[in-house]
Structure 1
């Protein structure tokens, strides 16, 4: 399996295929450092080919949200394969204790199953009790592999009690946990965390969260620019950008304790037309953001003058009488 194949099949199928290749490299002989280098080189090639395939697909179909989802799925594939390699080959626990359990969660934007090309990969390693030598070894293996791949990784290792305690103190942590998604590992641990989170923070207790997120939004607008019509807009943090859409989603899902916009329609909170409009705005912003990251080779969120014309061309805008392609794009 190579990176271009990852567009075919489910994440589980891709991860299993990649794991089989990595297990073969681990079992192939040589000292441990040589085997680790072979595994890293293989995963690097897989990841690079996958990213190239995703960019090619974005240019071909122009679908921004699908691009962000594919990038998330690529990292899911890599992480799940490496986790299986750690458990089944490198750090096999012959008689695991109740403490030797681990759930690997995606949080933040990665938890929403979307990643821009330059986004951080935010992870939570969830434990039942205090850290063990086995758990520490598995986490360290995963992190060093991801760092050696050149990924920007945000990470924390916590118990459920740690998560609840810190979420009480820090609204950023509480928000990140709202987006948490199980990648691999112990599903019961994740289910316990979701139950505790809903009981401690969501059921009839949303006022402080809503006030904090609205204050955070206002401060972000003051910092980045309060106008929707900036000549060099920030597609992530600017007014009307992706972060504003995320804030709307957080407020609604937190208050109503739901996981999707469709559930809000079922409850009569949103209409189908409003959900379609939300997704239309999100799709456009994701397309611009993904192209922007690929074009610059970094996590660039500001659409500067020099990037606006090539961006318009990438998105397929053409000149109309009295209006150039870049002008049509910037008026979108």
Structure 2
């Protein structure tokens, strides 16, 4: 498994991590035993970084990870996120609320100190509030958290967060259909020593190549109920790309995939190969998916020809739909 330093945390983590939203909620039903097996399969395959959030199944995802941490296991670095359990108003981002949220997450995870806590896509005004980051600094000094970071929706929010002196990591959507972070976010993060956690690397499964125009999704799957941004930012579902446009882009991307790789693995390798990425966090609903994701770390890097092909498809088909928005 390839590793990289996770920004200002100073910890080396696997470049393929596990995104644990899928074992929490909003992706259709994932049975309890399947969720546990996903975590075990990922870590057995060399994954040492797991990303979750307190709202994923109202703590369900955190509790599965806590069960894992309580057992016999290889060392793992766990990041969680807080802030989406309240109305998204800047005045709700207080030290009092941070403490309450962290106490719940520490209980779910079964730990005294959380490795990395991230603000979960807060309003821009929160990122501009010095008091918010003073409170987080105090929680680090107190030992409740080891480091903190920010998960963001837009590149501008990422740049605001990166400028904060004690922000260790920034989590942002980056995949073959969302290239804008390559322009300023990744280079700036590298210069400042901030880690980049790349989420939604498979565009909610679009980049697996398993979907077509007839594919349907369960009522409790965000790929059904958030297609137009009804529940949260539309960029989190299919990376904000219109479904038909995404299918067309996937058809062209297939032509770039080298022998011995699946389209999913090609898409993950593309993200891994971007300078400045610390870790990529695909989700999984089965152990086989978790193992296939982890296997990407043993595959060869892509070539300039592959990168140029992805850029061409993005510019021709996708850019007009997403580049100006995020």
Q: Which has the higher helix share?
A: 1
Which structure ranks higher in relative contact order (CA pairs < 8 Å, sequence separation ≥ 6)?
2
* TM-score in same-fold range (> 0.5): no
Give the TM-score normalised by the residue count of structure 1: 0.30
Give the TM-score normalised by the residue count of structure 2: 0.30
Q: Which has the higher strand share?
A: 2
Say which one has the larger Rg: 1
